[in-house]
Amino acid sequence: MPTYGFAVDLRKCIGCHACTIACKAEHQIPVGVNRCWVKTVEKGVFPETRRFFFPVLCNQCAEAPCVRICPTNALFRRRDGIVDLNGASCIGCRACMEACPYDQLFIDPNTHTAEKCNFCANRVENQLLPACVSVCPTECRVFGDLDDPSSEVARIFQREAFMVRKPEKGTGPKVLYLGAEESVIRPEASVRPLYFKEGSVHLRPVGAPMPDVEDPGEPRVDYDVPHGKPWGTDMVLYLLFKAISTGAMLVAALLWRLGIDGPLATIAGPALSIVFVSLTAIVLVIDLERPERFYYILTRSNWRSWMVWGAYFLTAHGALSAVWLAAGWFGWDGVLDWLVAPAVVVAVLATSYTGFLFAQGLARDLWQGPSAAIDLLAQSAAAGSAALLIAASFGGAPAAGALPVLGATLAIAVTAHLLILIFEHLLAPSPTQHHELATATIRTGAYARLFWGVAMIGGGLLPLALLVIFGATLHPLVTSLAALLTLAGGAAWEYIWVEAGQSVPLS
């Protein structure tokens, strides 16, 4: 079985865009999206100026992160190494777009499923070269079998000084570039203007950290087709709702375990958990491009995808919350005793898996941080405590000792969350320039006001201070205010985490 590879001799590329259009024609690609395109960068000071052309297409990675994250096995690796996509299985979760470090996936506005370059597998099976190769006026594109030593692409792979895009991602890209210049192959190396050489910029991620720096000679992108942010507010709501749900359950279990057996632990906690896990599910389904296919995640599960595990964790978490509520309602204390351990374990899993899921979003360096799973737990505990504190203020006199425990968990959780933010996003050196650019948007860029004003101070230090100074009074006004501020701070951070992570161009 062959292993197909591709090489682009950039020295021969004249930036004519024939490949782009041939691809569009072959695959009927709608306006606004591309399987392949030619990025252009201008560099140098007159008269030593140069323009570089950089055709991008799918790398058909040996370790394809899109295949790993795809929950329904819609993305798959063929035996010939081509990473292909079966639209019939795609639910449109856009996770693949977060996983691909090369910005090579998009949602087809006709089918509302993901789409990507597949080396024209439909042509390859007819022994035809991919459309972009066949059309290329200067034959700068080379396609062939990497396993066949006599093929041109194998020769290049063995003998030539080629480069690949983002080798540090460890994906095993199979598109080799000859004569690549750093400013084109590394997206972080060029500034991004608000206006291109031949027109306006289609999608410029909000908060993109690289404005049009009028510094003569600095590499600047003249043309590119970056994608917008695949994940938006729905993911923020998902994070918030899920944190409340799992947190409520965790804190309820804690209260029960501590013997504080009032309705907060037996009714309010599980009820909140059920309500918010349901909301989580609703948000997740609505967020799909093909919501009617949501159940594919359970029927066509890809067990390498944390999204699939998450679906099961959330289902289990919802089920345990329901059992907990029933037991609490009917006073089956023995059942509750027995449920504590599984409920906690499942809630922790349902909380933390998201850290691993986001980390499977290999494109986003910000999400690769080591402490996301732990931070999610802290956020969850804070959100759960906050939710129960608010519930307590409505529900008359809570069981003795409940409020101090909730106050304490809130304070501890917020403290932990803040410490993680400070260590991971403010103090720790960025491992990559991409990461640095993302954190810069948080520290000083587009998200700085929200970060400092709400995530750190208003929704972090302020509730903490309230609890420390006035916590002893356990006045519902104080606890509710602190709880609300905490939820706001948590939501703000979740928004920043989702958005800032996606603000760095990938191509």
Q: How far is CA 93 from CA 109, 313, 354, in A?
A: 14, 18, 14
Of the candidate residues 12, 77, 186, 257, the single one contacting another protein (CB under 8 A): 12
Residue 404 lies near another protein (rule: CB under 8 A): no
* Neighbouring residues of 203: CB distance < 8 A, sequence distance ≥ 6: 226, 227, 228
The distance of closest approach from Cβ of residue 240 to another protein in the complex, given in angstroms and rounded to an integer, is 31
Phi, psi of 428 (to 5 degrees): -65, 135
Question: Hey, what are 32's tokens?
Answer: 């606004």
Residue 148 lies near another protein (rule: CB under 8 A): yes
The distance of closest approach from Cβ of residue 442 to another protein in the complex, given in angstroms and rounded to an integer, is 27
Residue 195 lies near another protein (rule: CB under 8 A): yes
Residue 122 lies near another protein (rule: CB under 8 A): yes
Nearest to another protein of 88, 341 (CB atom): 88
Nearest to another protein of 217, 404 (CB atom): 217
Q: How many residues bind another protein (CB under 8 A)?
A: 81
Nearest to another protein of 16, 374 (CB atom): 16
Nearest to another protein of 14, 258 (CB atom): 14
471 vs 257: CA distance, rounded Å: 23
Contact 459/485 with Cβ under 8 angstroms? yes
Which of 198, 219, 205, 228 minimizes the C-alpha distance to 17?
198
Q: Which residue has the tokens 């690796």?
A: 77
Please give the radius of gyration of the chain, using alpha carbons only, rounded to the nearest integer: 26
Bridge partners (DSSP) of residue 50 are: 43
Nearest to another protein of 24, 229 (CB atom): 24
Site for another protein in 67-106 (CB under 8 A): 84-86, 88
Residue 128 lies near another protein (rule: CB under 8 A): yes
Nearest to another protein of 126, 299 (CB atom): 126
Residue 177 lies near another protein (rule: CB under 8 A): no
Of the candidate residues 91, 153, 235, 339, the single one contacting another protein (CB under 8 A): 153
Region near another protein per CB under 8 A, out of 11-19, 271-279, 312-320, 411-419 = 11-19
75 vs 84: CA distance, rounded Å: 6
The distance of closest approach from Cβ of residue 420 to another protein in the complex, given in angstroms and rounded to an integer, is 39
Contact 350/317 with Cβ under 8 angstroms? yes
**Beta pairing, strands 175-178 & 4-9:** parallel
CA dihedral 373, 375, 376, 382 (to 10 degrees): 150
Indicate the burial class of 414 (C-beta count within 10 angstroms; 0-12, 13-18, 19 or more).
buried
470 vs 414: CA distance, rounded Å: 16
Nearest to another protein of 153, 359 (CB atom): 153
Question: Hey, what are 245's tokens?
Answer: 């749900």
Of the candidate residues 212, 330, 422, 453, the single one contacting another protein (CB under 8 A): 212
Contact 474/407 with Cβ under 8 angstroms? yes
Region near another protein per CB under 8 A, out of 126-134, 238-246, 259-267, 420-428 = 126-134
Residue 1 lies near another protein (rule: CB under 8 A): no
Q: How many residues does the chain have?
A: 507
Residue 113 lies near another protein (rule: CB under 8 A): no
Region near another protein per CB under 8 A, out of 144-152, 280-288, 376-384, 399-407 = 144-152
Of the candidate residues 56, 114, 133, 265, the single one contacting another protein (CB under 8 A): 133
Region near another protein per CB under 8 A, out of 18-26, 162-170, 370-378, 475-483 = 18-26
Nearest to another protein of 7, 253 (CB atom): 7
Nearest to another protein of 195, 303 (CB atom): 195
Site string for another protein, 26-65 (x = CB under 8 A): xxx-xxx---------x-xxxx-xxxxx------------
Site for another protein in 156-175 (CB under 8 A): 159-160
Nearest to another protein of 83, 466 (CB atom): 83
Residue 112 lies near another protein (rule: CB under 8 A): no
Nearest to another protein of 216, 259 (CB atom): 216
Question: Hey, what are 184's tokens?
Answer: 């084109």
Which of 75, 92, 380, 395 minimizes the C-alpha distance to 249?
380
Residue 18 lies near another protein (rule: CB under 8 A): yes
DSSP sequence for 368-388? G-TTHHHHHHHHHHHHHHHHH
Residue 11 lies near another protein (rule: CB under 8 A): yes
Indicate the burial class of 452 (C-beta count within 10 angstroms; 0-12, 13-18, 19 or more).
middle
Site for another protein in 216-245 (CB under 8 A): 216-217, 223
Region near another protein per CB under 8 A, out of 23-31, 99-107, 322-330, 417-425 = 23-31
Which of 341, 268, 360, 283 minimizes the C-alpha distance to 314?
283
